[in-house]
A = this chain, B = another copy of it.
Amino acid sequence: MTNRKGTLIVLSGPSGTGKGTVLKHFFDNYADDAVKLSISATTRLPRDGETDGVNYFFVEKEKFENMVQNDMLLEWASFCGNCYGTPKAFVDENLENGCDVILEIEVQGALKVMEKRPDAAFVFIAPPSMQELKNRIVGRQTETADVIEKRMETAKWEVQNISKYTYAVVNDDADMAAKRLKTIIDAERLKVEKNNFANLNG
């Protein structure tokens, strides 16, 4: 089997559900060289230790607007006065090279990607329960009661969209969840449409 096509894996879920930890376990323990994490473009300034092209593609506001106008972003959103988006070029180049690309984005962004890339694998990282999600957000002790309430409202809306996703991974244990993500990626690689069987039909 040669000329494998990569899979776009869109990973999202409520804030506090542990997406980042799952991804860390995944890249530390289960990923091979053929899986890449998508790098977002942003208009915000680099923080200490952040490198352009590694953590983010840091771009000027004008450049970002240009990317939006020229349809160079798969999805984008603004947050706290800064813009964040997913450059298509990085995603498509990797897919064409046979690499899978993981996109970690908000549910709202994922819904937009569903329209543009229905062939992607959409993975919802779910909390074991809404109470457990609340416990985790409260446990951080960084948020006011108001913010917690607002987060839970958003989480409820996000969870209502779970049926639009292909797969759901319950994050009861981050390492187990990372392993399940690995299973999904391995199965996607076995899809007929991702492989070239010209050697059998020659």
Report which A residues bind B (CB closer than 8 A). 1, 124, 126-127, 129-130, 159-160, 162-163, 165-170, 180, 183-184, 186-188, 190-193, 195, 197, 199-202
Once the chains bind, are B186 and A165 in contact (CB under 8 Å)? no
Among B162, B183, B200, B202, the residue within 8 A (CB) of A192 is B162
In the bound complex, how far is the Cα of B138 from the Cα of A128, in angstroms? Answer: 54
Q: List 27 A–B pairs whose Cβ atoms lie within 8 Å, in order of A's numbering.
A: A1-B170, A126-B197, A126-B200, A127-B200, A159-B197, A159-B200, A160-B201, A162-B192, A162-B197, A162-B200, A162-B201, A163-B192, A163-B193, A165-B192, A166-B192, A167-B190, A167-B191, A167-B192, A168-B191, A168-B192, A168-B197, A180-B186, A183-B183, A183-B186, A183-B190, A184-B187, A186-B187
Residues of B within 8 A of A190 (CB): 167-169, 180, 183-184
A180 to chain B, nearest CB (A): 6
Residues of B within 8 A of A188 (CB): 187
A182 to chain B, nearest CB (A): 9
Closest 8 CB pairs of A and B: A187-B187, A167-B190, A159-B200, A183-B186, A168-B192, A165-B192, A184-B187, A183-B187
Once the chains bind, are B195 and A168 in contact (CB under 8 Å)? yes
Which residue of chain B lies nearest to A122 when distances are taken between CB atoms in the complex?
B192
In the bound complex, how far is the Cα of B174 from the Cα of A42, in angstroms? Answer: 48
Which residue of chain B lies nearest to A172 when distances are taken between CB atoms in the complex?
B1
In the bound complex, how far is the Cα of B190 from the Cα of A165, in angstroms? Answer: 11
A19 to chain B, nearest CB (A): 16
Additional pairs, 7, CB under 8 Å, beyond known A127-B200, A168-B192: A1-B170, A126-B197, A162-B197, A162-B200, A163-B192, A167-B190, A168-B191
